[in-house]
């Protein structure tokens, strides 16, 4: 589905069904140097279980025109503008990693438009080491390899994503390289600096009024589960802890779906 | 800065795609010889069929044992995934049929395995897919042969029968400039000798019957995708970028930015053509993959010794091995195949067909048969077997002489192989007298 958001073309995957004019809506927001395709199984499931679905490509990522936006706050405003463009009054906001911060900030900025908040593979603050930021600046390919290795906890996650026969590390690496090569400038460094710079997480959490649910990976070393304690407390969030690294939707698609169904029933 | 990275090749060869079985604790990958998989509920069944969940439904489409092989091969190639097929020929057909149809055109190297040449020349043309063959070393010919309806460029990493080294960086650049993918047959090299994706290829297939399996026990194939080719940007592939009526109007490039090709190949190609791999075959090939690094190192070491022996023997007119300075692709091989040029090569005996026949029949350790990539050493004399209907002039056009012998060097002690060859060469020499 193609939309005009803040004067620029934006894309949202609708889960394999045309986007209906009304009904409950789930919005999925991807993480750094990713696009909507990290959500397609979950998006298809919700689209075929009574929901409208928008799995967005953030500005400058995938099919959405750039440039990339400079902060989590700007991305949250863009997300709310996208809801306007799609004719959606309120939606469950689901984000992964950097996208989880965008969903959090959007839920705080427009509490009445957030039917629920699901933060997957999240942490606050989402600080990025100076060493990784430097590598992202000087040698993005090396940084992608590092993040890819950090993000996967297994060499044999089953049933794989989007299905059997897919090599997750290869898929994740290829996606990051594709998004980086299509982008204007060094999008990898940009996205990581956006995560690193976000300082409004606790204030945002205090303003969120909807139910919140955190889904964290017990083997996640990018956003360790222990780094969500204060955030979960402020949000009064339910927390699902599943066996996975940071690439939760790829390593444990069924477990993530089961956890999400607690937050967003069919 | 130093930092983590994915495991190295030898580790992936043992571990990629496989973990101890969660149901039984079995350390080795179990053989899941089952046609189907029980659904947890009707809702679960529907969500599997509709790609809302990942999982196994029916073993023609996917199987847990076969998936381990697919994921491991993809890891070794550096790709996003792979699909196991009933044979290498089935893998080639799947690659082509996924993105080409009646009215399509292919540009292929003329230096191909005979089976591939037959498929392109005779069989696919019957279905409306034309192929233009070019000499693989003629870089300009690749570019000149591309038409508006061309769908892919195709060659072998080491061509048949002269071991032409495919200049993947240059040929892939030509393909990409035209918005086309490069497909390569990597059977002779395996990912241990060369990872074509790193050089620019987009799709790779193998006859897994050969070195991947390594033991001459099964027939199988596998097709892997780099995930790097941008099908949407190309604009030439509505098969992947437009709604597909055969699967609820799915647009494969929207479903998976980097896995669109494999989605269609599995959802259509395996579903409809059905050339799937048996889980038992997959398991046997997995046993081979676990020792691929060790075996390839030995294959190449043995081949080098045999090549040196033959190159200095008075009964041998020439040896076609790219590591020899006389080979036209010697310099390219040093760049693209630094670990070696495999262990399948041809050499020319001095004399006529009779010397070739005498040589073959005198060999004791080498098995006379139609295969390559076995752990045992193999030999064939094309003029008296695969090409026996051709006269000498026709053989010459095919790059084959009356005394051309093809060897596939196995894992025996190289000294024993050389002793066997030495004795057989003596017999051939006497036959010439």
Q: Is B289:B13 a contact under the CB 8 Å cutoff?
A: yes
CB–CB of B258 and A175 under 8 A?
A: yes
Distance CA A144, CA B230 (A): 19
ipTM of the complex: 0.97
Q: What is the C-alpha to C-alpha distance for residues A97 and A34, in angstroms, rounded to an integer?
A: 10
Asked if the model's pLDDT at residue B352 lies above 90, the reply is: no
Q: What are the start-end ranges of the H helices in B200-246?
A: 231-234, 238-241
Smallest CA–CA distance, residue A209 to chain B, in Å, is 30
Nearest beta carbon to residue B56 from set A149, A159, A170 = A159
The per-residue pLDDT for B5 is 77
Residue A70: C-alpha distances to residues A194, B216, B284 (Å): 7, 58, 52
Mean pLDDT, chain B, as a whole number? 95
Residue B4, pLDDT > 80, answer no
CA dihedral sign, ordered A144, A147, A151, A155: positive
Digit-coded pLDDT (tens) for B32-77: 999 999 999 999 999 999 999 999 999 999 999 999 999 999 999 9
- Tens of pLDDT along chain A (266 residues) come to 999 999 999 999 999 999 999 999 999 999 999 999 999 999 999 999 999 999 999 999 999 999 999 999 999 999 999 999 999 999 999 999 999 999 999 999 999 999 999 999 999 999 999 999 999 999 999 999 999 999 999 999 999 999 999 999 999 999 999 999 999 899 999 999 999 999 999 999 999 999 999 999 999 999 999 999 999 999 999 999 999 999 999 999 999 999 999 999 98
Grade residue B296 by pLDDT with cuts at 50, 70 and 90.
very high
Q: How far is A264 from chain B (nearest CA, A)?
A: 16
CATH number at residue A236: 3.40.50.1820
pLDDT over threshold 60, residue B170 = yes
Contact A91, A25 (CB under 8 A): yes
Closest chain B CA to residue A38: B256
Q: Nearest by CB to A159, which of B5, B12, B55?
A: B55
A261 touches chain B (CB under 8 A): no
Q: B10 in contact with A at a CB cutoff of 8 Å?
A: no
Instruction: In whole angstroms, give the CA distance from residue B174 to residue B179.
Output: 9
Cα end-to-end distance, chain B, whole Å: 68
| Residue A57 belongs to domain spanning | 2-263
Distance in angstroms (rounded) separating the CA atoms of residues B220 and B155: 20
Kindly write down the DSSP assignment for every residue of B284-323, as one continuous string.
Answer: HHHHHHHTHHHHHHHHHHHHHHHHHHHHT-TTEEEEE-TT
Comparing A120 with B113, the larger pLDDT belongs to A120
- CA-based torsion, A193, A199, A200, A205: positive or negative: positive
Percent of chain B whose predicted confidence (pLDDT) is above 70:
98
Q: Which of residues 211-250 of A touch B (CB under 8 A)?
A: none
Q: Give the pLDDT of residue B3.
A: 58
Residue B308 scores a pLDDT above 50: yes
Taking an 8 Å cut-off on Cβ atoms, the answer to whether A155 and B75 are in contact is: yes
Whether B161 contacts B404, CB under 8 Å: yes
Give the residue ranges of DSSP H helices in B121-264. Answer: 124-126, 139-145, 168-177, 190-193, 196-199, 231-234, 238-241, 252-255, 260-264
Closest by Cα among B112, B167, B103 to B141: B167
Residue B138: per-residue pLDDT: 96
Backbone angles phi, psi at B53, to 5 degrees: -130, 155
CB B154 within 8 A of CB B82: no
Report, as an integer, the average pLDDT of B357-366.
95
The strand pairing partners of B158, in sequence order, are B165
Which helix (DSSP H) or strand (DSSP E) does residue A179 occupy? helix A168-182
Give A134's contacts in chain B (Cβ within 8 Å).
1
Other Cβ atoms within 10 Å of A162 Cβ, number: 25
pLDDT at A209: 98
Cα end-to-end distance, chain A, whole Å = 22
Which three-class secondary structure state does DSSP give residue B34? coil
Positions of CATH 3.90.1150.10 in chain B: 293-432
Put simply, whether A33 touches B (Cβ < 8 Å) is no
**Fold category of B9-289 in CATH:** 3.40.640
A154 touching B, CB under 8 A?
A: yes
Strand partners, A119: A95, A214
**The pLDDT of residue B6:** 82
Any chain B CB within 8 A of the CB of A161?
yes
Domain count, chain A: 1
Whose CA is closest to B302, among B382, B167, B151, B421? B421
CB A167 within 8 A of CB B75: yes
Distance CA A83, CA B290 (A): 51
Give the closest-approach CA distance of A141 to chain B in angstroms. 11
CB pairs < 8 Å spanning A and B: 163
Residues of A in contact with B268 (CB under 8 A): none
Query: With an 8 Å Cβ cutoff, is B269 touching chain A?
Result: no
Contact B3 A142 (CB under 8 A): yes
What residues of B are labeled active site?
A: 60, 113, 185, 210
Write the pLDDT tens digit of every residue in B371-423.
Answer: 999 999 999 988 888 777 777 777 777 778 888 999 999 999 999 999 999 99
Interface touch A146/B50, C-beta < 8 Å? no
Residues on chain A touching B71 (C-beta within 8 angstroms): 156, 160, 165-167
Q: Is A192 on the interface with B (CB under 8 A)?
A: no
HSE-CB for A217 with a 13 A CA cutoff: 27
Test mutation, A166, A177, A221, chain B, max B CBs within 10 A: A166
| Interatomic CA distance for residues B291 and B301, integer angstroms | 16
Residue B1 scores a pLDDT above 70: no
Touching check for A28 and chain B: CB below 8 Å? no
Task: Say what the pTM is.
Answer: 0.97
Chain A residues whose beta carbon lies within 8 Å of the beta carbon of residue B262: 165-166
pLDDT at B216 > cutoff 80: yes
- The reply to whether residue B6 touches residue A154, judged by beta carbons under 8 angstroms, is no
Which residues in B lie closer than 8 A to residue A160 (C-beta atoms)? 54, 67, 71, 81
Sign of CA dihedral A190, A196, A198, A202: positive
**Rounded CA separation A17/B367 (Å):** 58
Cβ of B19 and A155 within 8 Å? yes
Taking CA–CA distances from A255, the nearest residue in chain B reads: B53
Dihedral Cα A241, A217, B227, A134, nearest 10 deg: 150
Cα separation, A220 vs A230, whole angstroms:
17
**B206 and B98 Cβ atoms separated by less than 8 Å:** no
Task: For an interface test with A, give the residue of B52, B253, B267, B290 to mutate (most A CBs within 10 A).
Answer: B52
Residues of B with CB below 8 A from A146's CB? 3-5
Side-chain half-sphere of B214: how many Cα atoms within 13 Å? 24
B2 touches chain A (CB under 8 A): no
Nearest to B197 by CA among B223, B219, B159, B221: B223
- What pLDDT band is residue B2 in, cutting at 50, 70 and 90? very low
Q: For the domain bounded by B293-432, which CATH number is listed? A: 3.90.1150.10
């Amino acid at each position: 589905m193609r939309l005009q958001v803040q004067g620029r073309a934006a894309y949202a995957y609708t889960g394999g069904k045309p986007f209906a004019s009304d009904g409950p809506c789930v919005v999925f927001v991807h993480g750094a140097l990713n696009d909507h395709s990290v959500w397609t199984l979950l998006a298809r499931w919700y689209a075929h279980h009574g929901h409208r679905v928008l799995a967005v490509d953030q500005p400058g990522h995938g099919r959405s025109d750039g440039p990339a936006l400079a902060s989590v706050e700007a991305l949250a405003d863009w997300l709310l503008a996208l809801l306007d463009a799609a004719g959606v009054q309120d939606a469950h906001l689901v984000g992964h990693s950097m996208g989880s911060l965008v969903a959090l900030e959007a839920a705080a900025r427009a509490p009445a438009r957030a039917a629920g908040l699901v933060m997957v593979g999240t942490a606050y603050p989402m600080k990025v080491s100076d060493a990784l930021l430097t590598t992202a600046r000087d040698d993005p390919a090396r940084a992608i390899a590092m993040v890819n290795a950090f993000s996967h906890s297994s060499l044999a996650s089953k049933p794989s994503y989007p299905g059997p026969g897919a090599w997750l590390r290869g898929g994740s690496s290829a996606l990051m390289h594709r998004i980086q090569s299509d982008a204007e400038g060094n999008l990898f460094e940009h996205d990581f600096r956006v995560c690193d710079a976000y300082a409004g997480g606790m204030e945002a959490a205090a303003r969120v009024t909807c139910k919140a649910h955190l889904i964290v990976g017990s083997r996640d070393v990018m956003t360790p589960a222990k780094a969500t304690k204060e955030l979960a407390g402020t949000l009064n969030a339910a927390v699902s802890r599943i066996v996975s690294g940071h690439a939760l939707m790829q390593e444990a698609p069924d477990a993530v779906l089961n956890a999400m169904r607690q937050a967003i029933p069919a | 800065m130093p930092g983590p990275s994915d495991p190295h090749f030898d580790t992936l060869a043992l571990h990629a795609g496989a973990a101890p079985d969660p149901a039984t604790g079995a350390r080795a990958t179990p053989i899941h010889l089952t046609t189907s998989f029980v659904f947890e509920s009707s809702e679960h069944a529907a969500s599997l069929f509709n790609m809302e969940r990942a999982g196994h439904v029916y073993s023609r489409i996917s199987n847990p044992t076969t998936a381990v092989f697919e994921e491991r091969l993809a890891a070794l190639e550096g790709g996003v995934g792979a699909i196991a097929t009933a044979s290498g020929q089935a893998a080639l057909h799947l690659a082509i049929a996924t993105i080409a149809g009646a009215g399509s055109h292919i540009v292929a190297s003329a230096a191909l395995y005979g089976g591939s040449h037959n498929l392109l020349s005779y069989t696919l043309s019957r279905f409306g897919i034309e192929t233009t063959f070019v000499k693989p070393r003629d870089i300009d010919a690749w570019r000149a042969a591309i038409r508006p309806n061309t769908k892919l460029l195709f060659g072998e990493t080491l061509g048949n029968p002269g071991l032409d080294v495919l200049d993947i960086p240059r040929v892939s650049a030509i393909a990409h400039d035209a918005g086309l993918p490069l497909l390569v047959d990597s059977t002779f090299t395996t990912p241990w000798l060369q990872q074509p994706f790193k050089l620019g290829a987009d799709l790779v297939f193998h006859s897994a019957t050969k070195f991947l399996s390594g033991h001459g026990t099964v027939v199988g194939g596998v097709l892997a995708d780099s995930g790097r080719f941008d099908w949407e940007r190309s604009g030439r592939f509505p098969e992947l970028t437009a709604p597909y009526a055969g699967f609820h109007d799915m647009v494969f490039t929207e479903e998976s930015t980097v896995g669109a090709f494999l989605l269609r190949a599995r959802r259509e190609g395996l579903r409809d053509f059905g050339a799937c791999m048996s889980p038992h075959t997959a398991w046997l090939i997995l046993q081979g993959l676990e020792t691929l690094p060790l075996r390839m190192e030995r294959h190449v070491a043995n081949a080098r010794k045999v090549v040196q022996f033959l190159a200095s023997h008075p009964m041998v007119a020439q040896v076609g091995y790219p590591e020899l300075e006389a080979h036209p692709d010697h310099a390219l091989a040093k760049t693209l195949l630094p670990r070696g040029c495999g262990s399948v090569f041809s050499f020319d005996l001095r004399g006529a067909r009779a010397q070739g026949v005498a040589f073959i029949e005198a060999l004791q350790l080498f098995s006379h048969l139609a295969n390559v990539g076995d752990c045992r050493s193999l030999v064939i004399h094309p003029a008296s077997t695969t090409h026996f209907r051709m006269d000498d002039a026709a053989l010459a056009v095919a790059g084959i002489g009356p005394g051309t012998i093809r060897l596939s060097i196995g894992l025996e002690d190289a000294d024993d192989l050389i002793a066997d060859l030495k004795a057989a060469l003596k017999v051939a020499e006497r036959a010439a007298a």
